[in-house]
Structure formats: C-alpha cells, structure tokens
Structure 1
Amino acid sequence: MFVMELEYTAPIEAVDAVLEAHRAWLDEHYEKGIFLASGRKNPRDGGVILAVAPDRARIEELAATDPFVGAGVCVYRITEFVATKTAPALEQYRETLD
C-alpha cells in the first residue's frame, strides 16, 4: 500500500485552475481500484492519496500523470508501507510481513 503525499509548489489560484482535471484523474484511478481514499491536507498546502498497486514503480508512473504535476503545481512524496492491520472495510488489502 502507498501513501501519496502532494505538496503544492504554486499559489492556490494556480492549483485551483487545474483542480477539475485533477479530480477527473482521481476518478479514473478510483474506477480502476487503485485509489482507496484521498483529500486535501489541512491547512490546504497539498493532499494525500491512499493507493494500492503491484509496486512502487507503478505508483510513480501514476503520480507523473497527475494534471497537477503536468501544470507544475505540486510534487509528490511516496511512502510504501505494509498494511498489516486495517479496518474491516479494507480487509482485502491486509498484507503479511515476509
């Protein structure tokens, strides 16, 4: 599982100008079952996406296609973790340590 943390690198007005395209990008990856949760950080200086994928390379590829990245308004920090405990609704994503 991956935490994709966005940090805005441009004024919020520039972020808002690309927000509709970013939301469409999110919807596409929710439909594919890759994104599990997402939202703004508070204060609004970026966002967070919880995602599942076979490997880090796939997540990095996805991040590069975010319209926010294309517009130069954010950078990503990606953290991989092993989800050994989850809420019941996320049970299918539980992992075991090797």
Structure 2
Amino acid sequence: MFIISLTYTAGLEALEPHRPAHRAWLDQGIADGWMLLAGPRNPRDGGIILARGTRAELQEQAATDPFFQNGLSTFDLIEFNAVRAAAGVTLESLLA
C-alpha cells in the first residue's frame, strides 16, 4: 500500500484552470480501483492519496495527474505495510 503525497509547486491560482481535469483524474483513479482515498492537505499546499498497486504502476499513474503534467506539483511515493486497522475497516477490503 502507498501514500502518494502531492506537493504544489505553484500557487492555488495557477492550479485553478487545471482543477477540473485533476478532479476527473481522481475520479478515474477511484473508479479504476488503484486509488482508495484522496484529499487536500491542510494547509492547502498539496494532497494525499492512499493507493494500492506496485511502485512502478503507481509511479506511472501519479505521473498522469494534470497538476504534475503541467509542472504545478511533484509527488512522493511512500510505501507501507498496513498491519492494523480501526474497528469497521478491514485490510482485506482496502487491499482487494
């Protein structure tokens, strides 16, 4: 499992024209099943994505983000092994 940490390299005003395409990219990632959770960081200097797949697959997917493609963000892939979950959250459902 991975955390994809997006960091904006431009101001929010520069991101605005690309936000609809970025949101469509997020929706497609969730529909395709590799993206599990996504949301902005606080303060709004980037975003966090919880994802599943191989490092190579997620590196490729993250590089298709319109923010990244337009030079407005960078990303880091942080791999971790989930071994505990809160009540009601199953690791099997996250990894399926």
Which residue number corresponds to residue 83 of structure 1? 82
Q: Distance in 2 between matches of 1:90 and 1:31?
A: 20
Q: TM-score, normalised by structure 1?
A: 0.88
Percentage of identical aligned residues: 44
Paired residue secondary structure (1:20): helix
Q: Distance in 2 between matches of 1:35 and 1:60?
A: 13
CA RMSD for the aligned pairs?
A: 1.2
Q: Distance in 2 between matches of 1:38 and 1:90?
A: 18
Alignment gaps of 5+ in structure 1: none
Moved over 6 A (4+): none
Which residue number corresponds to residue 44 of structure 1? 44
Q: TM-score, normalised by structure 2?
A: 0.90
* 1:24 CA drift (Å): 0.3
Aligned CA distance change for structure 1 residues 13 and 31 (closer, same or farther; 3 Å): same
Alignment gaps of 5+ in structure 2: none
* 1:6 CA drift (Å): 0.5
Q: Once the two structures are superposed, what CA deviation does each residue of 1:23-67 show, in whole Å capped at 9, x if it has no partner?
A: 0001111011111111011110000000011x1010100011110
* 1:78 CA drift (Å): 0.8
Paired residue secondary structure (1:89): coil
Counterpart amino acid of residue 51 in structure 2: A
